[in-house]
Amino acid sequence: MDKAKLRIFVVDDDEPSRIMLRSIFAETYAVELFDSAESCLERMKTERPGLFLLNVGLPGMDGFEMCRRLKSDELIAHIPVIFISRKEGMEFRLTGYDAGGDDFLVKPYAVEEVKRKVAVVLKAVEKAAALRQRIDDSEKMALDSLTNLSEFAIVIGFVQNLNQCASNEDIAEALLKVLRAYQLEGAVQVLAPDNQFTLSEEGRDRPIECAVIESVRGLGRIVEFKRRFACNLDSLTVLVKNMPLHDPTLCARIRDNLLIAAECANARIQAQQHQSRNSQSKTKAAEAFDALQSVIFNFRSKYAQALYQSSLQTQGLLDDLASAFVSLGLSAEQERRIDHIVQSRMEQMSAIYNFSDEMYASLSAVARQFAVILNTSTQPDAGTQQAAGDDVELF
């Protein structure tokens, strides 16, 4: 409280008493003098003091009644009142207390006494005002904290549900719900390579929203213009068109919370992109695996056919030789030697087919490894995995 500017209203029907009080306080306060309660109340319509020095024994409305009137008005009830009277006594003082007075001065008073009482009452009022302010501040802080918690809970809820968003559209809708929870209006633009769209509660890909977002997209990560706010991230833009500028604190909190939500949504969209690419790779790998299986199957099939045909041809050769031996008139020794040569060659040919068996075994091993890789990437849950090498059925 600035004493130099503080105004004191002195109400006393006795002129020397009024002049004396003005003389005592004129150097420190702005003192206004009134000879009746009525004239003072009239002045109260245009000016309010920081303190009243109120004589009790006034003609017309007395000091107690005036004080009751002052204290019944919520807007001025806080202004302290010091009664002045020639009367004293406990009952008189209690009446003054009941009327709402802050202190009592009995004439004749000492100059130092009246100065000190005024100072003490003003100090008490100042302390009371400071206390009220602290309580108000504490209440506001508590309310702000609760509000802040509530606002933050919206973001927490959004982040918790983000993993359940199966598509970018789900993510955009979830962000729009966050905006609505903050009583905001706006739009969300998703910029995934294979999926670009703009969504608001008014619809999808509305030209005006697309144009506005396009205009702010290149202006930096955070764009603020009047009531508009935009957050531009790699795969996402969130546009708000009605930020609560009337409440800067609320505005700052909402901005922070929206940034958190947008960052999380952006990360989720990018994760979905990676997931999509992985899924495509797996499909191609599975196709390659099928092709490999087919190649191995054909190889084995043709190999078996070749082996069968080869054995047939060999047997035919042996049969033809046996027939030829009859007509050729060879000795038993010659027949045995020729038969030995043929048998030896047939064994060598058989060895060649054995190489093919090794080839088949190698191809099968590659296929098993391929299958293991495929199973690992398609079945991330280790608990459900089995020994893939034993599990693969190639044919």
Residue 230 binds to another protein (criterion: CB under 8 A)? no
- Number of other residues whose CB lies within 10 A of the CB of residue 182: 22
Rounded to a whole number of angstroms, the minimum distance from the CB of residue 4 to another protein is: 17
Does 116 participate in binding another protein (rule CB under 8 A)?
A: no
Angle at 311 between CA 305 and CA 312, to 5 degrees: 90
- Of the candidates 2, 74, 91, 112, which one interacts with another protein according to CB under 8 A? 112
Q: Contact between 23 and another protein (CB under 8 A)?
A: yes
Residues 237, 273, 236: CA angle, nearest 5 degrees: 0
40 makes contact with another protein (CB under 8 A):
no
Strand order in the sheet with 203-204: 203-204, 195-200, 186-192, 236-240, 228-233, 222-225
Q: Is 4 in the site for another protein (CB under 8 A)?
A: no
Beta bridge partners of 232: 237
The window from 13-21, 193-201, 218-226, 241-249 that contacts another protein (CB under 8 A) reads 13-21
30 lies in the binding site for another protein (CB under 8 A): no
Q: Tokens standing for 120? A: 């003490």
Q: Locate 191 and state its tokens.
A: 């910029």
Please state, in angstroms and rounded to a whole number, the distance separating the CA atoms of residues 200 and 197: 10
CB 227, min distance to another protein, A: 59
Told to check if 113 binds another protein by CB under 8 A, we report: yes
The alpha-carbon radius of gyration of the chain (Å, integer) is 50
Question: Least distance (Å) from another protein to the CB of residue 120?
Answer: 17
Nearest CA to 179 out of 220, 249, 237 is that of 237
> Which residues inside 168-227 make contact with another protein, applying CB under 8 A?
none
Cβ at position 88, least distance to another protein in Å: 11
Amino acid at 234: D
Residue from 6, 20, 251, 338 binding another protein (CB under 8 A): 20
| Separation CA 34–CA 14 (nearest Å) | 10
Q: Which stretch binds another protein (CB under 8 A): 109-117, 227-235, 291-299, 333-341?
A: 109-117
Binding another protein (rule: CB under 8 A), the pick from 84, 165, 175, 296 is 84
Q: Please identify, among the stretches 8-16, 43-51, 357-365, 377-385, the one whose residues bind another protein according to the rule CB under 8 A.
A: 8-16
186 within 8 A of 276, measured Cβ to Cβ: no
Q: Which residue has tokens 């979905």?
A: 272
> Among residues 19 and 219, whose Cβ is nearest to another protein?
19
97 φ/ψ angles, rounded to the nearest 5 degrees: -65, -45
Q: Contact with another protein (CB under 8 A): which of 2, 16, 166, 351?
A: 16
Give yes or no for residue 86 binding another protein (CB under 8 A): yes
Q: Three-state DSSP class for 279?
A: helix
Q: Which amino acid is at 317?
A: L
CB of residue 15 vs another protein: minimum separation in angstroms? 4
Which residue lies nearer to another protein by CB, 109 or 303? 109
Neighbours of 358 (CB within 10 A): 9
Q: Candidates 111-119, 166-174, 201-209, 363-371: pick the segment binding another protein (CB under 8 A).
A: 111-119
- Burial of 281: CB neighbours in 10 Å, binned 0-12, 13-18, 19+: exposed
Return the number of other C-beta atoms located less than 10 Å from residue 198's C-beta.
24
Cβ nearer to another protein, comparing 21 with 216: 21
Considering the rule CB under 8 A, would residue 35 count as an interface residue with another protein? no
Q: Output the smallest distance, CB 10 to another protein, in A.
A: 11
Q: In this chain, which of 8, 9, 11, 24 binds another protein, going by CB under 8 A?
A: 24
Residues 302 and 100: their CA atoms lie apart, in Å, by 115
Query: Is there binding between residue 88 and another protein (CB under 8 A)?
Result: no
Among 13, 14, 35, 62, binds another protein (CB under 8 A): 14
Is residue 119 close enough to count as binding another protein by CB under 8 A?
no
Q: Does 141 bind another protein (CB under 8 A)?
A: no
17: contact with another protein by CB under 8 A: yes
| Alpha helices in the chain, H assignment, sequence order | 15-25, 37-43, 63-72, 90-99, 111-162, 168-181, 207-217, 248-328, 332-378, 388-391
Q: Which residue(s) pair with 53 in the sheet?
A: 10, 82
Of the candidate residues 111, 211, 306, 324, the single one contacting another protein (CB under 8 A): 111
Binding site for another protein (CB under 8 A): 14-17, 19-24, 26, 84, 86, 107-115
